[in-house]
Amino acid sequence: MASTLQALESWVNETAARTRPARIHWCDGSDAEYAALVQQMLASGDLIELNQETHPGCYLHRSNPSDVARVEHLTFVCPPNREDAGPNNHWMDPAEAHAKMDALFDGCMEGRTMYVVPYCMGPIDSPLSRCGVEITDSPYVVANMRTMTRMGAAAQSRIEREGSFVKGLHSTGELDPDRRFIMHFPEELSIQSYGSGYGGNALLGKKCHALRIASHQARREGWLAEHMLIVGIENPAGETHYIAAAFPSACGKTNLAMLIPPEGYRREGWKVWTVGDDICWMRPGEDGRLYAINPEAGFFGVAPGTSANSNPNALASIARDTIFTNVAVTADNQPWWEGLPGEPSVDWQGRPYDPANGPAAHPNARFTVSAKQCPTWSEKAEDAQGVPISAIVFGGRRPSLLPLVMQARDWTHGVLMGAAMGSETTAAATGAVGVLRRDSMAMKPFCGYHYGDYFAHWLSLDRPTAKLPAIFHVNWFRKGEDGRFLWPGFGDNLRVLEWMIERVAGRAEGRETPVGVVPSPGELRSEGLDLSRQSLEALLAIDEDGWRQEMEAIGGYLREFAPRLPEALMREQARIAAALAQTPEAPRRSVASA
């Protein structure tokens, strides 16, 4: 018996009988096991050794060209009642889903090794952590799970002590896009994924467990599982405030998590600490505050766009002991993607580089690396109790209307801010330009149940004994009439975080508006910035007429989740709409003249 827990042993045996592997390997997470997996994949061609002088311990994996991203249209949430999945999820009847997956898994591991991967999401001794076991036939998945989770013997011991775990079954199958499904069974705490070897579809501890299943667990148990970074901001007085922030894709989550302060701030002694770049689990503590852990142990980051200019800390993190997926390589076998110096020799599909074939690296090329390799990694990431959250930040890519920063008046207003957040499409994306796509709390692809119930769960945390974080909304992407971004972004975003901290500490007054509190003149530090007074005013301007239309649109969006939408959110929407209605009508001002 490979496990002392009968439920685990029985499930492994049942799965082996269905999938019929040639052998079974129980993973212990050791260095020796990892080294053996790497050698096996080098021999099979699943991994390619990169330049070990410039990138020691680094390897390249090329996935099937049809298998390079999450497949949301093939991702299902399967509670017995369709309504419980909500309009924000694809649903399949659990009996139908099980029948479909049983047929796919039948004999799918013949001739392969079945790996049993026990893992812990979060510090191994944290009461906030949750465990799972992934069964897979992919050594690439095993190697990545070792980096992304606390995987191996210690996790198995915790599972055997607690007696509960999330069951994840995965097979690459034939990598046939027509035979590819990712099913979630929240009531069973189980996940089944077939036909993909790509990260988010195959590393079941990541989005599948840490968000879709964990959001269900969190609602049942009274905590939050969120698509958020966690960053610590230490001021010159030695005070550290931890901030959790949710942004949709392409809005700079990883860059903010690894932010480098502007030179003047560095001289003063400001420091930034990275706790997590993607997922945040928050639970009320005994003192009423929310405490957060990063359930992941590594970064599964997008490589293209990562450079010495955009994120030098990420670039430093991946200089060694990293698995790269679908990047290009240079003539001397170094990993390469658009944004790096030098030239590619071979593209992500292994072909001699030809610009006519498109980008050298796939736009969704990835790196998998231990979080501890980040120069700004915080030891608090291993704190069993988590870190206390001072502020929660929502944000999106909005070229107009949304100010650089605003604070919610209270928790309900903040939940409305999160529910309404979204991004507008740009010319860089296919389809119409300027179309607003709402992505509540950046959780639209990841919330494991009905959004209306999810909003209600957020609201339920506001109890008399709670000392909840302040909630803010940011927009780094507001543009001037010339189409250029008004705010420099990157390290200068610390100036906005500083104002948030001052608000939390009661040292900044702010300016009340119908839609939230914005910085008063002079409160946002601008020394050293190449930013005119007019541009700063434009960044913080509130266009009441535009906001009247926005609140009407928000109301229409929220009603999509009726009848489960909490009345409190619609009352809050109505309160702001009424406040805006009392402001004088004014012609809409241009950004340049605002």
- The answer to whether 253 is annotated as binding is yes
Q: Which residues contact 49 (CB under 8 A, 6 or more apart)?
A: 42, 59, 60, 333
- The answer to whether 207 is annotated as binding is yes
Taking a C-beta distance cutoff of 8 angstroms, is the pair 116, 19 a contact?
no
- The answer to whether 492 is annotated as binding is yes
Cα separation of 275 and 258, whole Å?
9
Q: Which tokens belong to 235?
A: 């001021």
- The answer to whether 206 is annotated as binding is no
Cα separation of 180 and 172, whole Å?
9
- The answer to whether 510 is annotated as binding is no
- The answer to whether 200 is annotated as binding is yes
251 counts as catalytic: yes
- The answer to whether 198 is annotated as binding is yes
Taking a C-beta distance cutoff of 8 angstroms, is the pair 277, 257 a contact?
yes
Taking a C-beta distance cutoff of 8 angstroms, is the pair 332, 326 a contact?
no
Reduce the DSSP state of residue 243 to 3 states and report it: strand
- The answer to whether 357 is annotated as binding is no
- The answer to whether 199 is annotated as binding is yes
Reduce the DSSP state of residue 390 to 3 states and report it: strand
- The answer to whether 307 is annotated as binding is no
Cα separation of 259 and 307, whole Å?
13
- The answer to whether 195 is annotated as binding is no
DSSP state of 206: I
Residue 171, beta-bridge partner list: 194
3-class secondary structure for 128-186?
CCEEEEEEECCHHHHHHHHHHCEECHHHHHHHHHHCCCEEEEEECCCCCHHHCEEEEEH
- The answer to whether 29 is annotated as binding is no
User: What phi and psi values does residue 182 have, to the nearest 5 degrees?
Assistant: -125, 110
Cα separation of 519 and 23, whole Å?
62
Reduce the DSSP state of residue 524 to 3 states and report it: coil
- The answer to whether 249 is annotated as binding is yes
- The answer to whether 250 is annotated as binding is yes
Q: Which tokens belong to 28?
A: 């212990």
- The answer to whether 449 is annotated as binding is no
Cα separation of 359 and 457, whole Å?
43
- The answer to whether 457 is annotated as binding is no
- The answer to whether 400 is annotated as binding is no
Catalytic: which of 27, 78, 251, 280?
Answer: 251
Cα separation of 203 and 162, whole Å?
23
Cα separation of 15 and 140, whole Å?
20
Q: Which tokens belong to 268?
A: 């003063």
- The answer to whether 555 is annotated as binding is no
- Residue ranges for the binding site for GTP? 250-255, 366, 397, 490-493
Catalytic residue positions?
251
- Residue ranges for the binding site? 70, 198-200, 207, 227, 249-255, 278, 364-366, 397, 490-493
- Residue ranges for the binding site for substrate? 70, 198-200, 249, 364-366
- Residue ranges for the binding site for Mn(2+)? 207, 227, 278
